[in-house]
Structures are given as C-alpha cells and as structure tokens.
Amino acid sequence: MSTKIFATDLLKVGGYLLSGSGTSLFFAGNQLAQGSSAVAQIQQVIAGSGLEGGGAFNNANVTLNIGAGSGIFIDGDKVNVATQGIITSMLADGTLTNAKVSASAAIDVTKLQYSGITIVGGSGLQPDTSVANLGGSVTLNIATDNSTLDINSDLVRVKPLGLTNAHLSASASIDVTKLQFSGASVIAGSGIQQDSSTLNLGGSVTLNVATDNSTLEVDTDQLRIKALGITNAQVSNSAAINVTKLQHSGVTIIGGSGIQPDSTTLNLGNSITLNVATDNSTLEVNGDALRVKALGLSNSHLASAANIDVTKLQYSGITIIGGSGLQPDSATAYLGGSTTLNVATDNSTIEINADGLRVKGLGLSNAHISETAAISISKLQYSGINFSYANGLTGNLTTNLTQTNPLSLTIDSNTLSAGGNNTLRVLRTSGVLSSAALHAGLSTFTHDGASNTIISVDGTVVRTSGNQAIAGVKTFTDNVVILGNFQVSGNILQVSSNEVNIGDNTIVLNADVDAQGVGASDGGFIVHTGLSGQNPELIWNHTYKKWTISKNPTQASFEIVSSQRLRAGTTALALNDSSKTVTFGYTFPFTPVVTATLKGPVGADLIGWQLYDVTTSSASFDFTTSMPTNTYVLQWQAMGPIGALSENVI
C-alpha cells in the first residue's frame, strides 16, 4: 500500500503543524493515521448510552449494538417497539401527540385507564348525553330562549325583532381605555351635514339631515315629508311596497255623493271600480264620458264650483280604475305620490278650460235646456235690453227683464206688446204689417193667428253668418277683428295708421302671378316722400334677375351685388365616423372661411371637431372620438368672395 504524504504547510494534526518527514499523515487501510511510519496507533471505540459492545480495534471491525431495554426489541437489523411494551410511566406528559400516532391505529379502549368522559352542560349548553365514550359521540347544543336568540342554519343569531328596549342596560358604561380608538372621524354621507369632522368618545357631534325643503323638511327636530311635497315623479315606477309592512292592508270604500263603488272593501293589490252616479235627468254617461243630458239643465242647477280639501290618507296606495266618466292618468296611486283623475267630456257641451270643468262656449243648444227651465236673471250676464225708438216707433219698453207690467210698442196703428213673464206678443191676431209700418231693413212681419211670427229682413241688413255682398262705404269706429283671410280686390289699399305691425316674417309680392310665371313683372318698394318724382325705389328687375336702388326714377339705378357667397349645409354622420369631408357644391375663386357645429341627440356627450383641410370646393373635419350613434349631424357653412366687383355695385 502506498503512503500518501501531505505537505506540512497545509495541514495541522492535534493542533500542531506537521513539519519535516518524521511525522506525517498517511492512509493505513481505511483510516487516516498519524505517525512516523505506516503503522497506525491503536484506537478505542466506546459504546455510549443505549449502545452495547465497542473496544479496541486495529485493522479489525468493532460492533456496536443497541441495548434492548424494556418496551423494545431487536428484529434482525431493525429496532421495534415491543408488543404491549409502552406503559404510562414511559410517556412524558404531552409527548403522545396526534402526529406520533398512525392514522390507521386502532387503540383498544380497554388499554386505557379511562374509556370515556362525563359531559356536564355549562351555562347555555345542552349535551344530548352525560357520558361520552371513546369511539362514541356527543352533541353539544347551544340553548336559546328562541325569543331573543335562535339557531338558524346551524348559526346562533339574534332573532329578528328579538331585542327590545328591556335588553339594553340603562347603566351600561364602557371605559374608553378598553377601546383601541378613543374617537372617530365623522364623514357626512349623502344627505347628512355634520358640525364637526371628529367625534371623541364622551364628546358629541351634531348630524343634521340635509333636505331639499321641497319634498322633505325638518320640523321641530323631526324629519318629515313636506306638505304637498311628494309628486308622482318621486315614486318609482317599479315600486312594490309589501302590504305586510302596513298597519292596515285595505280600506273601506263608502260611495260619497255622486260615487258608486262596486265593492265596499278595497285591499291593496286588488282593484275597485268607481262609477259616477248621475240622476240621468241633468247628467248622463255617454260613451264613458260625462255630459249634460239633453234638456237636463234648469236654473236650479247653476251654482258656484266647490273646492274639496284633500287631506292625508292613512294607507299607502290603491289601484285606480276609471269608472264611468273618469279617466285616471295612472292605474296605481301611492301615498306620497299623486294621480290625476280627469273627467271625460264630449267636448261639445262640456270642456276642460284652465283645469276647470265648464259648459263649452256655444255648447248648449235649445235641445239641452229644459222646457220648464226658469233661469234666474241673477245667473245671466245681462239683465236687460236697451231700446231706442225711430221711424214712428213709440212705447214704454224698459231695460229691466224683471218688468212684469204689460209693455207696448206702437208702429202706426199696429201694436206690439210685452206681456206677462217678459214675453213679447203681437196684439194683432193675424195679418201682415204694412210696409209703411216697418223699420228700414224689415221686409215682412207676419203672424199666422196661432203661434208663429215671421220676421224677414231685406238685403240692406248686415247678417252675422253666411255669404253676403255689402255695398256702400262702411265706417267702423272701433277695432275690426277678422278671423279668416282678408282679401282686397281693389287697385289701392291705403292704410292711414302711423304704425303697421305684421306678424309674418316674409312678405310676398306679385302673389297673383301663376305657377308658370305668367304675369311676372318687376316688384319692390317705393317710399312716398310727398315730392313729385322724388320717391326712392328698391325694385327687383325680373328681366335681368337683380335688385336695383334709385333715389328717384329720373336718376341712374345701382345694382345690389354681394361680394361674398355663402354656402351652407347639414351632413348626417354615421356610426363610428371619426372624420368627414363635405363638398360646397360651388368652387370659390379663393379659399373660403369655414365654420361648423356638431350636434347630437338631447343629453348626449359633447364631441369636439377639428378642421384639418380646406379647399375651394370642400372641407375635411376630424372628430375627437368616433360617433357613438348615427344621430349626430354636422352643420357647416363656407363664406368666400365671388370675384371682382363691377361699377354701380353697392
């Protein structure tokens, strides 16, 4: 065997540096030896705790064996725990943990000193058995009173509506030193206003409810809905309030004056029909519309309109079904909201005016007035008639309709008389009044001797209806209102007023020219100065298609020619358009000035634009974002010169 010598400047053995050749390290067999020769010194192997054997070895094997004490045995080359080898005295407290026991271990409970435990339910706990054996089971239940606490889905919880004022200690006082924080930052959320941003325990902060003072208000330190503050807009279209939250789930319906319900009880979520009850003599329902019945009105039915005060209701809402003569604007009315019940009218005898029900103007005809009606004079706008006598008429007619004495009107020897009940009657029993006894304009006055009197007028009387040709000059001393068209066929229409106001923004001249232009001629305006031949003119020259201005007809005229041309248009934009080029339909001699407006639907986001290229015939635009819809339009206009100006141009 060769000896391996190490350099003495690299190794130390036993704390000494090896030097020279007298002492060196070398391999002897399987060990590293120190000495002056290749023979290793004898070494000892000492068996420590739990081991047996050992001794000196010199080129020989030394065996160390584990000492098999109580509780273990040696099986071949393996150390094992002996069967029933573990007793209590061998186990230190807490050393036998779950991690040291095999998952498949099944320790017989007879090997244990105790095979079970006694279960005693403490406060709030209820076991289902008093003894729990190993290998068995026991259930511990939390005992609740089922009024303040209950078990829900295997969880203990405070029972809904279980806590009352009696469960809260009046003297409870938690020391703030036991708390992690002694104060809190106060941040007012939506609708809350605070007087301080910090609240320390033991201190105070005031939180005020901010209201709009139109729907809500604070009154005597209480938040309440303001009187008449809730309108239909405040109630959600999808609101569905559970009736179990209400103190009462229905109302008793009592048909008031003029109302007939089809049921006396109305529960929320159900419906009821309210019908307008009529006497069928003055009012009736026709085609679901309330109207005055023919011949139904008499003097006793005319009265002032009643104002019904609407008080607050206790319940949250009802379903409204428009009965006869009623049309609701909503099928459901919630408390705090509103609904409008409209009276359906035939719009011929009755109408709604300024939110008031009234008899329509000229809506009542003879068919609607009772034959026995005696209308009080106090109900009429006028209580009398003014009479004047002319052309031989005499009499004692008065202006007061309350006159009960006979009144007479004498025409020559033929007498008309106003008799009882203020009716005018003819004293003659028959015949025709002579033409000499008639006022101008009356052609005949005939009585048949029974009950019919016929009065006819000639063409000199102006009628209030129908077509009529009226001759002669007529002078009106007051205003004239013409509801139809006003046509003057004469050659001259002279207005002597100093001010003429015309509502139309366009005046049409030469209106009698036909569609083919036949009769087309020059037209315009002439200012009358009062000086002969010196009336300035603004005239359209139809032949040359241009406007001319002259101070008077004897002087040369000037053409009106614009030095600028305006082209404008509206271009629709498509979905996702991010740019657009528009053409003017005209080529300017020079680059025009271009302006534009981008318009979208109401409430849409604003989109910007930039003009990036302009030519004499087109313009190109870039948008800050693509069009989100196809409802945007670009309104543009281009203004530029049309060329050089000529003489006599203004």
pLDDT tens-digit map of 540-556: 877 767 777 776 655 55
b/e burial code for range 69-81 (CB count within 10 A of at least 16 → b): eeebeeeeeeeee
pLDDT value of residue 7 = 43
Residues 42-80: tens digit of each pLDDT: 566 776 767 777 676 665 677 777 776 777 878 777 787
Amino acid (1-letter code) at residue 389: Y
Which of the four pLDDT bands, split at 50, 70 and 90, describes residue 647?
very low
pTM comes to 0.23
Q: What percent of the chain lies above the pLDDT cut of 90?
A: 8
Residues 381-399: tens digit of each pLDDT: 666 666 665 544 556 555 5
Annotation: CATH topology of 564-641: Immunoglobulin-like (2.60.40)
Distance from the first to the final alpha carbon of the chain: 134
Q: What percent of the chain lies above the pLDDT cut of 70?
A: 68
DSSP code, position 353:
E
Pick from 242-251, 307-316, 379-388 the range whose average pLDDT is largest.
Answer: 242-251
Residues 288-313: tens digit of each pLDDT: 888 888 887 776 665 555 454 545 54
Alpha helices in 201-290 (DSSP H): none
Q: Where are the domains of the chain?
A: 113-160, 192-225, 232-301+310-368, 398-457, 523-551, 564-641
Per the listing, tokens 């530029």 go with 640
Closest CA to 398 of 414, 367, 422: 422
pLDDT value of residue 578 = 94
Higher-confidence residue of 167 and 444: namely 167
Q: Does 423 score more than 50 pLDDT? A: no
Alpha helices in 568-648 (DSSP H): none
pLDDT value of residue 167 = 80
pLDDT value of residue 43 = 61
pLDDT value of residue 596 = 93
pLDDT value of residue 39 = 46
DSSP code, position 221:
T
Rounded to the nearest integer, the mean pLDDT of the chain is: 74
Residues 171-189: tens digit of each pLDDT: 766 677 776 777 788 887 8
pLDDT value of residue 603 = 80
pLDDT value of residue 557 = 57
pLDDT value of residue 383 = 64
